[in-house]
Amino acid sequence: MAKRERQPKPYPHRCPECGDVAVFPETIDYTSTFKYEGRQHHFVAPSVTLNKCRTCGATILTNRALGQVAEAFRVYANLLTAREMRDELHHLGLTQKEFAGQIGVAPETVTRWLKHVQIQARALDKFVRIFFKSPEIREELRRMQHDGNTPADPAPGRQGTSVDSSQAKEPDSRARQLTAGH
């Protein structure tokens, strides 16, 4: 059975701040700050469509708006955008899962990059650029994956690192980053 798209609720919406039914979409140049790789970055995300209350001025960022801000940050920081990564994967005929396996990350990591939930680290961004540009690198990584010599697939006879879940702690809110992960 096909998954049905959820229809958006018609405007106006109720404001979570003042309670008035006065929230409408608005497109603005949104000023934001991201903490990325240990530094604060102040930048402007152009033409972000968000929800704004006409009574109290509260701004509500939708998932779509958060994605627009994440893409704008990638442009600002000179990182590959989700669109660029999707285009390269399509051009190379790779699925997200195949790509993840070849570069040694979990498929969920690639999904988070492409859905604007996580921004790739600069070192990984450089590696991914080299991966996209070099057939020789892609072939070597495919060979390593086939031989079982990638971080995603430890070589036979090697023990993986195990974690005793009874000793694991939940990360605090500072460790969780919605859009600027490493």
Domain-wise residue ranges, the chain? 20-78, 80-151
Q: How confident is the model at residue 19 (pLDDT cuts 50, 70, 90)?
A: very high
Mean pLDDT within 132-149: 90
> What is d(CA 19, CA 144) in angstroms, rounded to the nearest whole number?
57
Helix axis angle, 82-92 to 63-76, nearest 10°: 80
SS (H, E, C) 18-36: CCCEEEEEEEEEEEEEEEE
pLDDT of 172 > 60? The answer is no
Report the DSSP beta bridge partners of residue 45: 30
Query: Rounded to the nearest 5°, which phi and psi values hold at 140?
Result: -65, -40
- In this predicted structure, what is the pLDDT of residue 5? 75
pLDDT of 163 > 50? The answer is no
> What is d(CA 110, CA 82) in angstroms, rounded to the nearest whole number?
10
pTM, rounded to two decimals: 0.74
The string of pLDDT tens digits covering residues 51-87 is: 999 999 999 999 999 999 999 999 999 999 999 999 9
- In this predicted structure, what is the pLDDT of residue 177? 37
User: For the domain 80-151, what is the CATH code?
Assistant: 1.10.260
Q: Report the Cα 68 to chain-centroid distance in Å.
A: 11
- In this predicted structure, what is the pLDDT of residue 176? 35
pLDDT of 162 > 90? The answer is no
Does residue 39 sit in helix, strand or coil? Answer: strand
